[in-house]
Chains A and B, each alone.
Chain A
């Protein structure tokens, strides 16, 4: 699904990520790696399959789009350090020519030196031309803001007392909130308003509401 923001084309991907063709940038929010191991450490044992699946999806996305740069909108890693971070490190190593930029989220609490990797940089927010990348949604006087954090979703209700809750992109005139990429994440159900646009993501489909 194509949309235009500030005279720039963007593609909303059904993989719950955003693609900017002109600069070949991939934008992803809230992967929450390490959540499974985090639970396991706390005595709640989660089989690691779910983590691997997130990494697989990430890998596929990289291969299908071949980005030059990947912008991670925070909450990359769910918790304090655990073995799953290695998975991500070797993932980075397998894409040596690609720059990864993490704008830090509230969950990104790893020690600084963990982030010292060759093709990886970390900042609190990042400004790039007329765009600003941040973990939490925010208003900016003249820049358009991309963010995550919220895990936005929408509930559809209709006849026969039917309800469906699905993740979505939330695009308003001055900012865009991305759906959470990670599988082990919940949904925050939005109240829709007239001014904004909402794009549902489900089953490989992006659909405007």
Chain B
């Protein structure tokens, strides 16, 4: 029997072409990657292939696990769980599916171990937890399929590395294992497939659904550009213009880039449009899980007019009633913008509709750039993590906890993964040393002698270490969060401990859409009660500092050039005309073949602004690197500020940057080396190391319910960092921290490309007397980095001289 045909006929549906292609490919024994958007039956495209295989190959051991379905999102897992079980039920197929996530109770897990089911839906973390349990080899001995959902999401994270390791291990148990991934469109589709599948037996294939939805993009423009702010990121100025849009839509999702911004927008919408009360909700990752679930249910049922949210609603199950998306501020990337737009318009034949709301005048240009980028499908690539030794060490201990491993065979396995293909035998030995003896520098401490070698098998023998390790499995290291609870009432969600610790009882703050007064703090819970006061502080959360992607950056440069060359102007560029004219008058408007540098003297000191339009991370890296190069010639201290368009070097002395340019300031040689040297004095690698130390199990994040304060975690990981730097320069975890900074925080390859580009550009230096439209937003930015190579004595004397003059 052809199960798919039967079932689709039963339902009176017609399968898509890509579904039929996938079924055929699976039947032919291939592994592959399915490139399809959500909401078009991508799960069924894979699923009927899987159950058909089960049906066609009846085995005596039919009660063993046949398929493992890994999804990064719990909400999606639930949906898939229901859908797949329904199929089995409809067809009367003896194929039962279980769900296991971090939410599953102990009781469920024990039952799952005993009960016989054919498929299991789970998360990458739960998957590794299963590998930490005795008997997993037996459990997986009959496994025929592993499905990885949302592979594009996992690929660019350490969870992707977890998947690679687990797959390599499962393939070693079952050489005939078939692997299928499901991914949205990304720039590096082919690479994504190769990384996921690795060396598999049989042919592989990418199947494209070609069902991309049509998107209508509108930029919400201010009436008068002259009255629109040059700086800022909240975007409230345009709120009145959104009211008719919200009113005319069935249901709207309003995305902001930061949680604090979502809180502000929620508050302001309620205040300015009071009749939204009861029809508006707030959704972000700090809000209590139950509340978020409720909001999602209300979205499904269509009873909410608008939900203000953050990336917390980027992914997940589709909400049919939602027909409009509003994006406040830069979406930072084309893929993200399309993803968000795609959260609307799910009724058949409907388009996705998205409104882009710029938060400052220059940002309007992004509207123009986005339209262009979407038209040309300039989708970003996901850059995979490689050589994540923290994840590898965690994995080794995981296997040690359950059935142990042999060094040689595990080394062979990990060498087949993309992440660890370059690991040398010496490096592998280092990892073994590290888990057995704490490596060179930690040998004296018993707590790092986790794994022991017995009869050629590496195993964890201590029950305490095993228990701690199971609790530590995973690669997402959170900041320390405090529960927020109403006095004698319910949980509202969680806030960073750092924010609460700045408040005193009686202080008022705004959270989860309510004005709250801090009553007391007990353990890791902040007890609050409702406040009548109008103005509370809005908590600032970490994060939200995602950089502009290179696709979007180059689209912005293209838009500026288009304007300069007198091309036909779209509404965004037309609106920007007066601003561009002003910029041209007081300074200069750079085209694609130019790099603009502005020098400005104010009360604060001497400012140098540069505008490569390469995104804030690249700018941070460039600014530090240029500071370093300038510092080679003269002792100097810079305060560094940046945004997605440019950066500022602020100093107390006048730097003759014009001369330095002739002196190879922008040389594209030694960019990598200079970047490494320039960050030596900075804190970046240390910050990265915090996560690495936690994943590798160096610091223990605590038993559930009594998580350690992250401040302590930070303190202790810093000490490890120091010890490794002083005593063991070649420590792989230390080197990893630097590599991660170089690749992910400084985006070195983008930086090198930027320097190469600058070398082909004409450098234009201007000397405005007042802040320009370009520099204003950078100048007023609050978050700043410092670069200094002046001796501390000199800095103190300089500062004291200024203070004493007053």
Contact = CB atoms under 8 A, between A and B. Distances in A.
Given A162-B639, A205-B793, A207-B800, A45 B605 contact: no
A86 to B, nearest CB: 16
Residue in A36, A46, A159 whose Cβ sees the most chain B Cβ within 10 Å = A159
A160 B639 contact: yes
Contacts of A49: 719, 722-723, 726
Contact of B639 (A45, A161, A166, A205): A161
Interface string B768-800: 000000000000000010100000110110111
A156 B796 contact: yes
A164 B796 contact: yes
Interface string B753-770: 000000000000000000
A45 B450 CA distance: 14
A49 to B, nearest CB: 6
A130 interface: no
Given A45-B445, A160-B639, A39 B796 contact: no
A209 interface: yes
A158 B441 contact: no
Given A202-B792, A203-B792, A158 B700 contact: no
Interface string B420-457: 00000000000000000000011001011000000000
Given A44-B713, A47-B442, A158 B799 contact: yes
A136 to B, nearest CB: 20
Interface in A35-79: 36, 39-40, 42-47, 49-50
B637 interface: yes
A39 to B, nearest CB: 6
Nearest to A200: B796
Interface residues of A, number: 28
A157 interface: yes
A63 B803 CA distance: 37
Contacts of A159: 604-605, 652, 802
B726 to A, nearest CB: 8
A160 B803 contact: no
A163 B719 CA distance: 24
A164 B650 CA distance: 16
Contacts, number: 95
A140 to B, nearest CB: 29
A158 B653 CA distance: 12
A39 B786 contact: no
B20 interface: no
A39 B606 CA distance: 45
Contact of B796 (A40, A42, A46, A207): A207
B637 A160 contact: yes
Interface of A is mostly: mixed
A205 B797 CA distance: 12
B445 A164 contact: no
Interface residues of B, number: 40
Contacts of B700: 43-44
Given A46-B716, A47-B442, A164 B799 contact: yes
Contacts of A44: 699-700, 708, 712-713, 715-716
Interface string A128-148: 000000000000000000000
A161 B604 contact: yes
Contacts of A200: 796
Nearest to B797: A207
Contacts of B506: none
A158 B795 CA distance: 10
Contacts of B236: none
Contact of B798 (A36, A40, A158, A205): A158
Contact of A161 (B441, B708, B720, B784): B784
Interface string A141-178: 00000000000000011111111101000000000000
B784 A164 contact: no
B702 interface: yes
A164 B799 CA distance: 9
Contacts of B447: 40, 45
A200 to B, nearest CB: 7
B599 to A, nearest CB: 14
B792 A164 contact: yes
Interface in B622-663: 637-639, 650-652
Contacts of A36: 719
A209 B723 contact: no
Interface string A82-97: 0000000000000000
Contacts of A39: 712, 715-716
Interface of B: 441-442, 445, 447-448, 468, 604-606, 637-639, 650-652, 698-700, 702, 708, 712-713, 715-716, 719-720, 722-723, 726, 784, 786, 792-793, 795-796, 798-800, 802-803
18 contacts: A42-B712, A43-B702, A43-B708, A44-B715, A45-B716, A158-B798, A158-B802, A158-B803, A160-B652, A161-B604, A162-B637, A164-B795, A166-B796, A202-B796, A203-B792, A203-B793, A207-B796, A209-B803
Given A45-B699, A160-B604, A161-B605, 9 more contacts: A36-B719, A157-B799, A158-B798, A160-B651, A160-B652, A162-B639, A164-B799, A203-B792, A209-B800
